[in-house]
Structure 1
């Protein structure tokens, strides 16, 4: 068909489109300032902004600001307590770790930016430019395997038909090659006129937008105009896969599709971190209250407020400055363990801030195709209206196809014709492109490229029954009848690709050997094809039968077109296609619907099998036993979803399924909800997309209250937005942690909406994987991810947080008791290096080694998945467990400081005995903390043993080096060692006995399964 339309239409469009940009090779240099620079910059900082930005990011949090104010207060003499280093060094240590990490990450980003910006590209005039210097209107030449530096419109391809292929995996995660087409007008002109053809090219296109699947534009040259679509474009950061391209830059830098879709991801905070923050607030309030109480006992003086501030500074160790950095380092360690677990290979952690939430999932919302199933398609059945052919009767189909161009058609002529019609239509109605690839031994093999695995499965099946796809490009298709060797050549006039909105794809083809034969062919979901075909009295029943077998169905239709009808359609369609209004797509769809999509002949139905993922049955059963409620959301039909739910054991044996379809009244909706409520957890809800939408729009709260109590829910015919809406509904109404898992681009919105996004690297590409917090290769891997890594991450961080808080509490209680005994004066007991070394050199390594601990081995988490369910209530880090640590700290702090002062006698607070007191109490603190860490260890390993011994050795070795803090003359005294031993045993043994008795009387569940 003719691709160009009169210039008048272009001018009319231009006048109506003031918000569109016009680009040409002679775009004045003065216009370039309007457009974004093409320089890529992902760096967060520069030399000037690095320090201010880092400091702002750190001190915008209240607790970091609190520690900074405490440190700065020491510059004010009335508030000074001890050495300035006691407060500056711990804060500087934490900040240095953060700054070092940020600086390293930013240097890597800057290095990648420089590589991209410095890459040179050839222009059509023979000059070269760096990527960062490219401007709108430049015409660049791109070769195979070269990165596309900006959004361009393809003017010419080295292939005579104007075709080329690109790889888009860095843009949308899709791994299949995408076919692209040069603008038909410039392709033909360039071949005849050379580079001079580009001088008069004018491209009108819309303002920059995010959609990578849509583009509206027109190209005009010397009064001729053709429409431009997304098929004529190459977006930035895609890669040329085949051919050489010449294209005009239309969007640069921040205006490119890549940049516009690179949104800052939602910052996710783990539930444990929120709980730790709440505890920290409680500790902060406790510090303030304790300071007020001590000032009250001291008596209010003229400057009593300064005394309050001094006490606040003195007890600042109650809120440990190292808590956040310890938890952040732990998260990095968990991420390392996950990525290096050989039992779940190629697992990637993309969000390292939330590994603890993996241990507290209550709801898992999962896609079906490619997630529960393999997305490994195989055409298993076809139905032609009067007869069905299954896997065991495909030889009969092959015979009918073989006889088509042989002498005679066999005895069952009617069935043979119907079968041929369906097979012939399937051979023509697809978007599969055959490509030649060379093997290692030099042989050429044919592979198929397509957006959908369904289409590749159908083309492979066609080859088995005798119709082989030889060639397909934008203009024509050649099919070989294998038995006779006959080549069937068809001109492709129009293609209407599949989309999640239309749920169908169609094409208009013309027989090149018989130009009177013009066909409109369409295949798609039964819900959209059924209304546009003529007789379909058998369709619903056969589609339901195939769905019950777990097959994905496609309905196929055909319509013969006359030359007159085609010409009328072509004129109307061309008029709609050059419209620069925002409803161009709708106008084009309306023309297709009016002229083509009506009164079609129903040819048949195909059934494609999608195999279940490996180990999907035990995995779902394991998660269900862990009390994770699983919802399956799919775009497939109700019957197909029902079959997969049963075969995968998403629905357990004996569990009933309540089906809701075509819901349209609130009365019926409440009837269904009342029934489900009365059935309790023993029923699974199965509903279609229309019913789901009705529930969400009319009775969302009532629906959520009932659905959240069910053991499982299956939603069919779901759109991507509905999937995301369901995730948000579950999160809002349950208040629990929600995970979502999928493998395709239509799952991205659901994955991003969830607390934990899980992506599977699937056959539809890596888009879901790239958008997820955690990426896996198989569904069964998430059982190890949740039950082992998630459980350990949560329990370890909970214990780590409480031990770090205990470490700060116990030294603060010693300080408080010393202040009380010093007539409520805010005097520092431990100063300088002692304060710095206590939380770093002497205790940091053993405390952090707790992140390597585990209570039970990995295989027991699978044997007893019920252990996972216990974590959801947060008992490992609750106010109850926190208060237990508070009382332990209170007991130990009072005992250590009280007995130290008691054993040293009434002169212990005098200057002559002060260093001896400090040496005794500080030694007791260090040894108590090391022993408390040892008490908390469930499973010893070399790291724990080494850190304990090294820390003890470091303390013992440093004591002789601290004459400014300790009375070293007492080190040879037998009394010193006796006092320290008695105090430490008194501090450690009673909590150990209490803990042992409690475990005997109320043993935790994990203790019951330990072997």
Structure 2
């Protein structure tokens, strides 16, 4: 079995596979496959009505444009991959009694390497930390821990502490005069690991970054390592001079490789609607082909007409005619539409990135998935997170409630020093001090470079509040914490810890203070109150519930404790040590659940999370635009309701148009969830957020999800459109979303302006593409009744081949790129206009457009053929126009009426619009005048020399123009009624 490479590959192709693979991908698309088959039939002389080379050029231009686009995007990915793969990494090797340090590319790392990671550099693979060097007053000191920034993986921007599982006493730093070791001084402990760590086995724990199990063989001993000892690929070493680590997984075997957290590149809802329309057009196409084949065969069977050059068998001629009509009617399918849409999406994504109104503090918005830019114009439901999305995630420690009191206290008043003697008596006799010590110990915060670093903003805000009152966490190690309480230093031994999880919603820790063991538990009120965890008198419970309800806008944390005897702690630790790797996390929770009973209530913290700027105005505008807002949060009901009212999501809890439901009860809601104006889902887990988004996708309702943290990623990746906010919880939501914005307020402009413009642009271009082709083929089909459906084209050969690619595609391209139906300020300030956007692309509009194209094509056909059959056009020298004059006239009339229609679709004229119009006219007439079939050379010059031609052309042009104006007015009236 070949070794797994540590190379990151996000590109699809290389220089050898690009052309064959991309050509396969291009030609495997149903539309391109159809065009390829048409090209093959054109190459058969007995079937083709004209030379295949012009169609070949058109086909190559369309597929070539797509290939160039794919090539450019893939080349960029190659460059991005190379930047990462060619980063340098240092590995330490030991042979013949001496060390050597070798610099290699990250892509060349292998399992079993000892890698040296420097400060502020990315972790190159999944590794187990062995030792580190930390700066101290005595210089660099060898430690068994390091600090990492994991925001690129889990969205949490605060530093985390990782510790080495296997501790070795470090005696001294070994002297080494080699310059390569100046950046990493070698210690005795480093030598021990390099010589004695032999192998590793990573246990599969899925793609969750919070779970990691590994067996490490040190000497002859198997050491069990977990997520606390693992540095994962994508993390970054911080506040640590360097770290020595052992590589246990590389490449696709890493957590990052398994998670595959890149934004999905799915198809948009709009593209799905276009695909349905294409299928309808295909049905129409095959209907026309079937009818023409039947009528053509019947025409051949007429015994009253003498035919020239018929085959012996009529079926052979009928088959040839069918093949010819297959080619002619293939122009019903818009060859250039798909390329126009793809290229336009690239520009639309660039518009988002370069929009100065979508920037905040120098951070620009980003479009990660250009495939959904037009779906922003048809959003029906908005699913949003609360903390960090609607609120600033800037926690402020406001109030506390201490056991035995009947009111709240402001935190600085409560924490003011009132006692001169602390810890002189039994700690449990002083509830307030016990409350302070429990909060100082029971958290995941480290004190790094004179600042607090941790996952939870709530915990950091509490410790910052303590620090302002002379209460500090000085140092945290795996086995102890050092506290400074009103100037008195206290060392607390840590026996066992179970960190906070979203399912448990609490954290517990067994500590030893002096000779006494305590179990501290801190968590949400829904998990600790009323569930046999916290015990308190009923009167105290009533007061606490009332205080929580009256201060529902605050986030609350309940703190409890109980004293434990030596024997209980011994059994507890023994059971915990005997946990197996299989289902380890559930076993840990089950054991702690048994001991987290009958805790003594100490107090409650009340923390305020301020609203983001312009949240209320943004949500009100989106609601006025007809978008229904769902707030999905892990907070308790009261906090969620208070935030929803403050944001303008709901007016009151009594509104019958509003649904308020707990996350666990969402599946039990029998009502049609789409009928509610607003919904608040509280106590929702990350899995539930994704489940709700999936429900909307199943209902085929266009849903936009917005969030800022790792817990929002399932929702962002499941919704039709995911928008990640680049905030305090890191960049993971931004990486996983289709869009990344620096603030919630950007959502208003993203939807009401960019979404509106993109959807209307694509609607106009798509409808026009099908209109002009149906118009074109209607005339060709009707002409078949005069030619026995022999496959004789009614248009100029070159005109027919370049009709879609050049002559009628340039103006639509400018519409797709630059068109604006109303000014930006009006679209932004009048959100009610967004409601009408969907009317531009509906089944009724499509049906009306199809009927209009058939009517216009029929009218033009009968007017032109009426003139030619009653009295042909005659030149000044007596020559009849005949077939060549008719096919050129049809070509000019169709082009002119289509171009006129396209010009009328333009709402925002730019210099590119003028260029496109002029270029379309020049290309068309150059083609008609200079490129003709051999038998009809100069026929266009003859046609333009006939005076009656101008009268006929102007008559047809005016008729088309008047009908177009009348029907456009009726269309606008119909749109207003809708």
Question: Do the structures match in fold with TM over 0.5?
Answer: yes
- Pick aligned residue for 1:575 from 575, 578, 584: 578
Q: 1:237 to 1:315 in 2, by over 3 A?
A: same
Flag the 1:571–1:554 CA change in 2: closer, same or farther, 3 A: same
1:657-668, aligned counterparts within 5 Å? none
Distance 1:946 1:422, change over 3 A: same
Corresponding residue for residue 360 of structure 1: 378
SS in 2 for 1:79: coil
| Alpha-carbon spacing, 1:574–1:996, altered in 2? closer, same or farther (3 Å) | closer
Provide the residue aligned with 2:587 in structure 1.
587
Helix, strand or coil at the partner of 2:473 = strand
The reply on whether 1:855 has 2:821 as its aligned counterpart is yes
Cα distance, 1:753 vs structure 2: 1.8
* Aligned-partner Cα distance in 2 for 1:248–1:945: 64
The alignment status of 1:314 with 2:332, answered yes or no, reads no
Contact 1:435–1:447 (Cα < 8 Å) also in 2 = yes
1:797 Cα deviation after fit: 1.0
Larger mean CA deviation between 320-329 and 490-499 belongs to: 490-499
Matches within 5 A, 1:732-743: 732=698, 734-743=699-708
Range with bigger deviation, 95-104 or 286-295: 286-295
Deviations 1:555-613 (A, max 9, x none): 0112334444444433332222xx23x1222333344344x423332110011111122
| CA shift for structure 1 position 946 | 3.4
- State the SS of the aligned residue for 1:758: strand
Instruction: Out of 959-968 and 171-180, give the one that drifted further.
Output: 959-968
TM-score by length of 1: 0.84
Q: C-alpha displacement at 1:865, in angstroms?
A: 2.9
CA distance in 2, matches of 1:508, 1:414: 15
Within 2, Cα distance between the matches of 1:552 and 1:634? 12
Between stretches 858-867 and 164-173, larger displacement belongs to: 858-867
Alignment of 1:443-462 (within 5 A): 446-462=450-466
Contact map agreement 2:156 2:730 (CA 8 A) in 1: yes
Q: 1:404 to 1:269 in 2, by over 3 A?
A: farther
Output aligned runs, 1:382-531, within 5 Å.
382-387=400-405, 393-399=410-416, 401=417, 403-404=419-420, 417-436=430-449, 446-481=450-485, 485-511=487-513, 515-530=514-529, 531=532
Superposition deviation, residue 257 in structure 1: 0.9
After superposition, the Cα gap between the structure-2 partners of 1:899 and 1:40, relative to the gap in structure 1 and judged at 3 Å, is: same
Query: Do the aligned residues in 2 keep the contact of 1:162 with 1:187 (CA within 8 Å)?
Result: no
d(CA) in 1 for partners of 2:543, 2:222: 49
Distance 2:736 2:132 in 1: 33
Residue 138 of structure 2 corresponds to none
- 1:809 and 1:928 mapped to 2: Cα distance? 13
Deviation readout 1:752-798 (Å, 9 max, x if unpaired) = 22122222223222222222122222223222222222222222211
CA drift at 1:713: 2.0
Partner of 2:578, secondary structure, is helix
Q: Residue 800 of structure 1 is aligned with which of 746, 765, 778?
A: 765
Distance 2:628 2:228 in 1: 42
Deviations 1:52-74 (A, max 9, x none): 32233223332221111000112
Please tell me whether residue 146 in structure 1 is matched to residue 121 in structure 2. Answer: yes
- Superposed CA deviations along residues 912-940 of structure 1, whole A, max 9, x for unmatched, are 74444343332323322221112122343
Q: CA deviation at 1:333?
A: 2.8
Aligned residue in 2 for 1:165: 147
Asked if 1 retains the 8 angstrom alpha-carbon contact of 2:400 and 2:411, the reply is: no
State the Cα deviation string for residues 113-172 of structure 1 (Å, max 9, x = none): 334333343222224243333322221221123332221111111243311122223333
- CA-based RMSD: 3.2
Higher mean C-alpha deviation, range 65-74 or range 971-980: 971-980
Matched, 1:927 2:891: no
Q: Which residue of 2 aligns with 1:7?
A: none
Alignment of 1:888 onto 2:852: yes
Any conservation in 2 of the 1:173–1:770 contact (CA below 8 Å)? no
Q: Determine helix, strand or coil for the equivalent of 2:414.
A: helix
State the alpha-carbon separation in 2 of the partners of residues 795 and 112 from structure 1: 34
Q: Secondary structure at the match of 1:730?
A: helix
Q: Aligned residue for 2:63? A: 95
The residue number in structure 2 matching 1:16 is none
| Structure-2 separation of matches of 1:1001 and 1:151 | 63
Deviation at 1:487, TM superposition (A): 3.0
Give 1:267 deviation, angstroms.
4.8
In 2, Cα distance between equivalents of 1:997 and 1:114: 56
Please give the alpha-carbon distance, in whole angstroms, between the structure 2 residues aligned to 1:227 and 1:421. Answer: 35
Match in the other structure for 1:440: none
1:960-999 to 2 correspondence within 5 Å?
Answer: 960-962=929-931, 966-967=938-939, 969-970=941-942, 973=945, 975=947, 978-979=950-951, 981-995=953-967, 997-998=969-970
- Mean alpha-carbon deviation: is it higher for 601-610 or for 902-911? 902-911
SS at match of 2:389: coil
- 1:468–1:407 CA distance, 2 compared to 1 (3 A): closer
Distance 1:970-1:722 versus aligned 2 partners, 3 A rule: same
Structure 1 unaligned residues grouped into runs of 5+ = 1-32, 437-445, 658-681, 1007-1011
Instruction: Sort the Cα spacing of 1:333 and 1:43 in 2 relative to 1 into closer, same or farther, 3 A.
Output: closer
| Matches of 1:736 and 1:293, distance apart in 2 | 38
| 1:489-541: CA deviation from partner (whole Å, max 9, x where unpaired) | 33444332211122111233344xxx324433221112333322332532464
Superposition deviation, residue 462 in structure 1 = 0.8
Tell me the number of residue pairs that the alignment of Structure 1 and Structure 2 aligns: 915
Once the two structures are superposed, residues 682-713 of structure 1 have per-residue CA deviations (whole angstroms, 9 ceiling, x without a partner) of 342222234335x1xxxx6xx142x3322222
Give the Cα–Cα distance (whole angstroms) in 1 for the partners of residues 58 and 596 of structure 2: 73
Deviations for 1:189-243, whole angstroms, at most 9, x for unmatched residues? Answer: 9954541443333555443432221122344545656531111111123222223
**Residue of 707, 710, 713 corresponding to 2:679:** 713
Q: Secondary structure at the match of 1:302?
A: helix
How far apart are the structure 2 equivalents of 1:722 and 1:536?
35
CA distance in 1, matches of 2:590, 2:969: 77
1:93, 1:63 → 2: CA distance? 15
Say whether 1:821 aligns with 2:779.
no
The structure-2 alpha-carbon separation of the partners of 1:648 and 1:45, relative to structure 1 and needing over 3 Å to count, comes to: same
Cα deviation code 1:91-130 (max 9, x no counterpart): 2111111111222222222333334333343222224243
Q: TM-score, normalised by structure 2?
A: 0.87
For the residue of structure 2 that corresponds to 1:185, the secondary structure is coil
Q: After superposition, what is the alpha-carbon deviation per residue over 1:262-285, rounded to whole angstroms, capped at 9, x for unaligned? A: 167655322322222222222222
Relative to structure 1, is the Cα distance of residues 895 and 688 closer, same or farther in structure 2, using a 3 angstrom cutoff?
closer
How many Å separate the matches in 2 of 1:287 and 1:94? 21
